[in-house]
Amino acid sequence: MTASAPRTTSRSVVEGMGVVLHDAGGAGDADPRVLLGLALRRNPRRAQLLVSRVLGKHVPTDPRLVRAAGLLLGARVADVLDDRAPRPVPVALLHAAVGGNRAAAADVHAGAVAATAAGGGPSHDVAVVGFAETATALGHCVAEALGADYLHSTRRPVADVATAGGFTEEHSHATDHLLLPTDPAFLATPRPLVLVDDELSTGRTAFNTIAALHRAAPRGRYVLAALVDSRPPDSRLVDDVAALGARLDVVCLARASIELPADLAERADALRAAIDAVPGAGPSGPGAHPPQVARLRLAGLGWPAATPEGGRHGFGPADHARLGAALPAMAAALAGAAGLRPGARTLVLGTEELMAVPLRLAQELADAGHDIAFSTTTRSPAVVTHDPGYALTSGITFPAHDDPADGPGPRYAYNVGVPGDVRWDHVLVVVDPPADTPALDTGLLAALADRASVLTVVVTP
């Protein structure tokens, strides 16, 4: 069956997809229809893209909401590890924050921080692994809530760091993940392992990961944590892990059931063709003239000694404590050095896997009274259509700027405005040293130039 060509309004795109979300959670769970929007992938493996409104990846979001969602998820994981029922999510406050209520975002974040500080007794002797690229900061937040060691997967091999494991994310645009802890005991120690992803659709990636890690280092217990669990009712994920000889618990903030039409692939093809036929459709590329952009280095703004810039090689409770103690002064120094003006609409833009430090800087700036949104660039190509209701209404595309091992390719940032729409008074682009290259200036920065009055690059140690 071939889908009829849709109109290109947002409503008909969503209707034309035929994908319907239902709330399948219980009392104390968030509503997935609030946490998620819908978009179309440019990926033959899966047509639909569930766009999180609390992740800080595709949608510029109040960073306090993003961190709060991660801490709340971590608190629920702590409950399950301690064999307690997961605590209720502050649903009304969370939903209000998703709706753009900045006071609610501040309150839900303050409550999540307080619950983490009060909560929970001793740290949990578990290892936490976050999935790149979308869940690297989310995993940091879960590990922080647990007082646990953290590692995220990566698609960037690093010289002199041995690969301790890897797995395949079947539906992803970039499928291969590496695990590169500097401490071999991180994965070898048979303590419970908490795996963190933004959304759980089928469980195949989770099972691939668990099976690969279990072959190398068997353990008795796994926990899978996601913002939204949308597995079908007949999912055998828990049973399949039990067949390996281990227990699996699944923890989330919201549960969804998803209706997918049998002809979704044909519908998606027709929708993409109709949208692509509109002049100027799709993400726009860099301008011809790279802007002159100031660079600020966190090493000179109070970065704590002996603290890694993220979880690619491991990040422990002591690292969380050092970074947390240094962040208020470091964010204040960054605001002064960058010349952030009171009331200036500012985007803190992380880059691919580098999400956790940009998120924490953005959250501290928001706590200090700045008008801050947070999002991150991505490898994932998706359909953009400038209509209300569709989750991705604008986008930019630019070449990779970190000399990736799998070769050059396009990268994207979504919902940052259309060409000539100076939506942001200031954009802080946060990169690590391997990504601070001339290609950053001619690509991402040149693509952002007509969407921001001021651009500043912030470089991690």
pLDDT tens-digit profile of 270-321? 999 999 999 888 899 999 889 999 999 999 999 999 999 999 999 999 999 9
The predicted pLDDT at position 168 comes to 62
Question: What are the φ/ψ torsions at residue 39 (nearest 5 degrees)?
Answer: -150, 175
Mean pLDDT of 327-353: 97
Task: Band the pLDDT of 42: cuts 50, 70, 90.
Answer: very high
Task: Band the pLDDT of 386: cuts 50, 70, 90.
Answer: confident
Mean pLDDT of 167-181: 67
Task: Band the pLDDT of 121: cuts 50, 70, 90.
Answer: low
Q: Could you tell me how many helices (H) and strands (E) the chain has, helices first?
A: 14, 17
Mean pLDDT of 209-217: 92
The CA distance from 428 to 455, in Å, is 6
Of 350, 377, 355, 435, residue with least CA distance to 401:
435
Is residue 419 predicted with pLDDT exceeding 90? no
Give 437-442's long-range contacts (Cβ < 8 A, gap of 24+): 437/401, 437/402, 437/403, 439/399, 439/400, 439/401, 440/401, 441/290, 441/291, 441/293, 442/286, 442/290, 442/399
Is residue 9 predicted with pLDDT exceeding 60? no
List b or e across 131-147, with b for residues whose CB sees 16 or more CB atoms inside 10 angstroms. bbbbbbbbbbbbbbbbb
The predicted pLDDT at position 282 comes to 87
Question: What are the φ/ψ torsions at residue 112 (nearest 5 degrees)?
Answer: -65, -40
> pLDDT higher for 280 or 252?
252
Residue 343: other Cβ atoms inside 10 A: 10
| Helix residue ranges per DSSP H, 85-230 | 91-98, 102-118, 136-146, 185-188, 204-216
The CA distance from 354 to 350, in Å, is 6
The predicted pLDDT at position 320 comes to 95
The predicted pLDDT at position 122 comes to 60
The CA distance from 384 to 346, in Å, is 23
The predicted pLDDT at position 224 comes to 98
Residue 278: other Cβ atoms inside 10 A: 11
The CA distance from 389 to 222, in Å, is 37
The predicted pLDDT at position 177 comes to 79
The CA distance from 78 to 98, in Å, is 24
Is residue 333 predicted with pLDDT exceeding 90? yes
The predicted pLDDT at position 379 comes to 95
> pLDDT higher for 173 or 437?
437
The predicted pLDDT at position 387 comes to 74
CA 379 remoteness from chain centre: 12
Give the DSSP letter of residue 443: I
The predicted pLDDT at position 169 comes to 59
The predicted pLDDT at position 157 comes to 85
> pLDDT higher for 2 or 255?
255
The predicted pLDDT at position 173 comes to 46
Is residue 67 predicted with pLDDT exceeding 60? yes
Sheet strand arrangement including 221-229: 20-23, 247-259, 221-229, 193-200, 127-130, 149-152
Task: Band the pLDDT of 10: cuts 50, 70, 90.
Answer: very low
The CA distance from 61 to 97, in Å, is 10
> pLDDT higher for 100 or 405?
100
Of 370, 305, 373, residue with least CA distance to 332:
370
Task: Band the pLDDT of 119: cuts 50, 70, 90.
Answer: low
The predicted pLDDT at position 174 comes to 47
- State the chain's mean pLDDT as an integer: 92
